[in-house]
Chains A and B, each alone.
Chain A
Amino acid sequence: MTRRISKYKRFLMMNPIIQFFKFIYLSIKIMIVVAGGHGGTREIN
């Protein structure tokens, strides 16, 4: 095992309070990508 994720980063990744806000942020961000819509490619180009 080679430590590639620092203790500080791991703390940020696993802290429930920080991650709660991250959860809200991610939910919105994913919604934007998903609800961003879809379409064809042939007419656009």
Chain B
Amino acid sequence: MSRIVILGAGIAGHVAASHLRRKLPKEHEVVVVSPNSNYQWIPSNIWVGIGRMKPKDILFPLAPLYAKKHIDYKQAKAISFYPEGDAEEVKPYVLAEYVAGANKGTTEKVTYDYLINATGPKLNFEATEGLSPGKNKTHSVCTYTHADEAWNALNDLIQQMKQGKKAKILIGTGHAKATCQGAAFEYILNVEQELRRHKVRDMAQITWISNEYHLGDFGMDGMLMSYGSNIMKSSEMVEMIFEDRGISWILGAGVNKIEDGVAQYETLEGDYKTESYDFAMLIPSFSGHGFKAYNKDGEEITNKLFKGFMIVDADYTPKPYEEWSVQDWPETYQNPSYSNIFAPGIAFAPPHSISKPRKSKNGTDITPAPPRTGMPSGITAKLVADNIIEMIKHSNNELHHKGSMGNMGAACIASAGFGMTKGSGVSITTYPIVPDYNKYPDTQGRKLGKTFGTIGLAGHWLKLALHHAFIYKAKMKPFWWLIPE
């Protein structure tokens, strides 16, 4: 009998848990440790942030589902890792603290045979002074509670605009090394459309602020893509959309401090500037959770497991951008020191950024961190689950399932406005996610055709269809596994 412990019940953790449970006989235990009692479909937070969906539309409670599916669920958060056990416990374990229920505040040694760390990112608001959701007129859409608060604030502003107030709206990244530009991009377009719907668009000045060097970088070094019968850069596509929607932009901006209605930022030219606003949605930097790890003698071995995020089979050797290669990216998400520990989704430490790194004249790194969107999070979680299943069934340590982001496609359907007839979406697929400049030297590391973009109402329908399909899948309803990650 094996015991597989999964930390986190986000996209990666839940995908891993559901596949493990479906494919493994009941004698093996699948245990999920996660502090949030709900599963949330994060991509739809954008629509919560404009009041077109309610938090209840994008979440469901995990406990009843896990009870029905024989997945053991602990509403707790991992604190520290003991991959060799300790003086009293021979099995490896994770120390977890319950966050709800009768056991709240108590800790438990959650022992495992295999561990999947799918704890995603820590939303590191503290890295930017004054950036905190709901404070200083800044907001976030990274969780459903943040998104709901963002909508309340935006709605207040819309009511004021209806009374004649002119407003400034600032949306983008709130740190020099933030990622998730795609989510901010969706939000700015949705906000713009909502202002038009409420007939106050002419009262607002909307500005995009980002650590990207070019528009449409998205932390992926931008893309060269098929667009209808043309070939277009993602920067040209985003510029076209922003100009068409009357959105202005500030690029190469490392936001470093927020005061009430004022964002301070440094530019790549080394200038220190400010931008005022009445409403801002700024994505914080993402970081690891600051977990510590100990060996069986109680000595700290955090650097064997973590480099901010969890260390996996990537090549972390520091090297200049020109020498980066697609082979630096991990394939199995297995920790090199402990072969029974894996980290899919956002939880793994990337070898470096995907976008070309840039420093300001003052030496500040202003470079988007690499995104790990929902699809690669799901795919990497499933392949980790499949490898663990094979390890258990064949009692060996061979890993046959591989999925590098340098040999994986991703679809990003960015909502550009909500509505069955008035909605819009920017549908982009990218192959591979991490550009392979050796394989595709003339097309900026990507395969044209498989890397394409298109804009229109169908994109909105697609995003809505995916919302329903992925919630159906996450609820593990009949034949859920037929829906791909």
Binding site for B on A (CB under 8 A): 1-5, 12-16, 19-20, 22-23, 26-27, 29-36, 38-42, 44-45
- Chain A CB count within 10 A is highest, among B239, B424, B458, for B458
A26–B421 CA distance with the chains assembled, in angstroms: 18
Contact status A30-B427, CB under 8 Å: yes
List the B side residues contacting A12 at CB < 8 Å: 456
Chain A CB within 8 A of B476 CB:
no
In the assembled complex, how far is the CB of residue B224 from the closest CB belonging to chain A, in whole angstroms? 16
Contact status A40-B461, CB under 8 Å: no
Contact status B243-A33, CB under 8 Å: no
List the A side residues contacting B246 at CB < 8 Å: 1-2
- Mask, B472-485, CB within 8 Å of A = 1, is 00000000000011
- Mask, B315-329, CB within 8 Å of A = 1, is 000000000001101
Partner-contacting stretch, out of B59-67, B290-298, B355-363, B399-407: B399-407
Q: How large is the interface on B (under 10, 10 to 19, 20 to 34, 35 or more residues)?
A: 35 or more
Contact status B407-A44, CB under 8 Å: yes
15 A-B residue pairs with CB within 8 Å? A5-B244, A12-B456, A13-B455, A16-B421, A16-B457, A20-B458, A26-B427, A27-B465, A30-B427, A36-B409, A38-B379, A41-B329, A41-B407, A42-B327, A44-B407
Contact status A29-B484, CB under 8 Å: no
A-B contact count (CB 8 A): 107
Chain B at the A interface: SS class: mixed
Contact status B458-A19, CB under 8 Å: yes
Q: Which residue of B lies closest to A27 (CB)?
A: B462
Q: Which residue of A lies closest to B420 (CB)?
A: A16
Given A12-B456, A33-B410, 16 more pairs with CB closer than 8 A: A1-B243, A2-B246, A13-B456, A14-B457, A16-B421, A26-B454, A31-B484, A33-B431, A34-B411, A36-B450, A38-B402, A41-B326, A41-B327, A41-B404, A41-B436, A45-B326
Contact status A33-B244, CB under 8 Å: no
List the B side residues contacting A20 at CB < 8 Å: 458
Contact status A34-B245, CB under 8 Å: no
Chain A CB within 8 A of B429 CB:
yes
9 closest Cβ contacts across the A-B interface? A1-B246, A13-B456, A40-B402, A38-B408, A22-B458, A23-B458, A38-B403, A33-B409, A19-B457
Chain A CB within 8 A of B331 CB:
yes
Contact status B409-A34, CB under 8 Å: yes
A34–B452 CA distance with the chains assembled, in angstroms: 13
Contact status A23-B461, CB under 8 Å: yes
Within the complex, which residue of A4, A30, A40 is in contact with B331, where a contact is CB–CB below 8 Å? A40
List the B side residues contacting A38 at CB < 8 Å: 379, 383, 402-404, 407-409
Contact status B457-A39, CB under 8 Å: no
Chain A CB within 8 A of B240 CB:
yes
A33–B240 CA distance with the chains assembled, in angstroms: 25
Contact status A1-B326, CB under 8 Å: no
List the B side residues contacting A15 at CB < 8 Å: 457
List the A side residues contacting B106 at CB < 8 Å: none
List the B side residues contacting A39 at CB < 8 Å: 331, 402-404, 407
Chain A CB within 8 A of B459 CB:
yes
A31–B327 CA distance with the chains assembled, in angstroms: 25
Q: Which residue of B lies closest to A31 (CB)?
A: B484
A18–B243 CA distance with the chains assembled, in angstroms: 25
Contact status B459-A14, CB under 8 Å: no
- Mask, B381-394, CB within 8 Å of A = 1, is 00100000000000
A12–B247 CA distance with the chains assembled, in angstroms: 22
Q: Which residue of B lies closest to A23 (CB)?
A: B458
List the B side residues contacting A16 at CB < 8 Å: 421, 457
A12–B404 CA distance with the chains assembled, in angstroms: 37
Contact status B411-A13, CB under 8 Å: no
Contact status B431-A40, CB under 8 Å: no
Chain A CB within 8 A of B375 CB:
yes
A38–B241 CA distance with the chains assembled, in angstroms: 31
Q: Given A14-B457, A26-B462, A4 and B402 touching (CB < 8 A)?
A: no
In the assembled complex, how far is the CB of residue A18 from the closest CB belonging to chain B, in whole angstroms? 8
Contact status B458-A1, CB under 8 Å: no
List the B side residues contacting A44 at CB < 8 Å: 407
Chain A CB within 8 A of B160 CB:
no
In the assembled complex, how far is the CB of residue B355 from the closest CB belonging to chain A, in whole angstroms? 19
List the A side residues contacting B431 at CB < 8 Å: 33, 36
